[in-house]
């Protein structure tokens, strides 16, 4: 089974569908493509024989990493996001975004014997406009096309969380506390 682990960012939705949704690829999405925070979803990664980790520029979760590295204490609930970056304090946000692709790729390698590939997406090259009214859906990992999951006019304004159980608490925190998105729907 091929599996994509990607950030929840709305701008990646159409990109992921176009490039990776062949009807059989399973999509897992968590803020920052933060593989290290996946526990209840870990079994799916173990079952995959190919994993593609998709990270991106202008990532809100890495914005949180960047900000937190400059502060004194790390909130417990962000420990698994922040701790791999402690050695990179002093780097720019853009550098941290590139480092994130390597960091999450390494965690995927620790977690699974699958063939691991990483991809870094430059969001400014994607054809998605700014969204003033973003919302989020929280759903299970699946092979479903986003164009079938969401109304056409919502595809580019909806953050998509796709993981299981307690893993969702991390994404809810990033969405509500750091990205200011409080309109969450479970489907």
Residue 61 or residue 99: which is nearer to Zn ion going by CB?
Answer: 61
Distance in Å, CB of 40 to Zn ion, minimum: 21
Site for Zn ion in 5-24 (CB under 5 A): 7, 9
- One residue of 16, 48, 59, 136 binding Zn ion per CB under 5 A: 59
Question: Do 26 and 164 meet the contact criterion of CB atoms below 8 Å apart?
Answer: no
Least spacing, CB of residue 9 vs Zn ion, in Å: 4
Least CB distance to Zn ion at residue 32 (A):
5
If one asks whether residue 150 binds Zn ion (CB under 5 A), the answer comes out as no
Residue 35 makes contact with Zn ion by CB under 5 A: no
Q: Which is nearer to Zn ion, 41 or 100 (CB)?
A: 100
Query: CB burial class (10 A; 0-12, 13-18, 19+) of residue 185?
Result: exposed
Q: Which of 8, 4, 1 is nearest to 167 (CA)?
A: 8
The pairing of strands 184-186 and 135-139 is parallel
Q: Which of 139, 135, 137, 136 is nearest to 164 (CA)?
A: 139
Rounded least distance, CB 171 to Zn ion, Å: 11
Please check whether residue 105 is in contact with residue 38, taking contact to mean a CB–CB distance below 8 angstroms: no
């Amino acid at each position: 089974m091929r599996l994509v682990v990607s950030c929840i960012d709305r701008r990646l939705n159409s990109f992921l569908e176009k490039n990776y949704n062949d009807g059989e690829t399973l999509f897992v999405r968590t803020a920052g493509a933060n593989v290290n925070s996946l526990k209840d979803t870990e079994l799916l990664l173990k079952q995959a024989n190919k994993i593609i980790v998709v990270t991106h520029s202008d990532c809100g979760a890495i914005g949180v990493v960047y900000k937190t590295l400059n502060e004194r204490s790390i909130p417990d609930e962000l420990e698994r996001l922040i701790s791999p970056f402690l050695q990179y304090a002093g780097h720019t946000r853009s550098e941290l975004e590139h480092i994130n692709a390597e960091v999450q790729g390494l965690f995927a390698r620790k977690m699974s014997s699958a063939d691991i590939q990483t991809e870094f997406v430059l969001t400014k090259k994607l054809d998605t406009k700014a969204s003033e009214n973003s919302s989020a859906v929280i759903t299970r990992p699946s092979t479903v096309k986003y164009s079938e999951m969401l109304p056409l006019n919502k595809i580019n304004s909806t953050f998509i969380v796709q993981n299981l159980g307690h893993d969702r608490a991390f994404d809810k925190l990033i969405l509500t506390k750091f990205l200011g998105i409080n309109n969450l729907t479970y489907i």
